[in-house]
Amino acid sequence: MMSKLRKYRKDLGKLHQEVRSTPLTATPGGPGDMKFGTYTVKNEHRNRLQSQRALLLQGTEILNRATQSVERSHRIATETDQTGSEITEELREQEDQLERTKNRLVNTSENLSKNRKILRSMSRKVTDNQQAAAFYHHLIGASYPGRPGLLQMLSQALKLL
């Protein structure tokens, strides 16, 4: 795009220089010589100037369009860059949030493991306590009403001795 713009500017400069260097009078022996007539010389000169002006205007118009296109492209690139920066910032924030969530999940998992160990220990202690209570009830005879417990049997045995 920039090379086209430079080419158009160069062509425009050449046309400007050509318009400035064009002689306003006819050269001897040239197409504007008097043997073709005054009207023809003026007409040819006017036609030549008009075509050069038309080319100059066309070159200027092309240059203006190219400049506008470059400006639009630059504006779009700036907007795209800004949008990309905003998206990048948002992604960083999301990454931080995901990292914090991951850390919380790791901590929760560790806490669950600790709680699971505590519950297993409590379950074993409850089982041990139930077994101890059952043994105690058996000792005192509370397990089967009407039947003597182990302690009662021992005390009766001692009385017999």
Q: Give the model's pLDDT for residue 143.
A: 56
Residue 90, both tokens: 């948002």
Domain boundaries, the chain: 2-113
Residue 141's alpha-carbon distances to 82, 131, 134, 160, in angstroms, are 87, 15, 10, 20
Q: What is the 3-state secondary structure (H, E, C) of 94-136?
A: HHHHHHHHHHHHHHHHHHHHHHHHHHHHHHHHHHHHHHHHHHH
Q: Give the model's pLDDT for residue 150.
A: 67
Walk along the chain (161 residues) in steps of 10 and give the mean pLDDT of each run: 78 77 55 52 79 89 93 95 97 98 96 96 94 78 62 74 68
Q: Which residues contact 52 (CB under 8 A, 6 or more apart)?
A: 15, 18, 19, 22
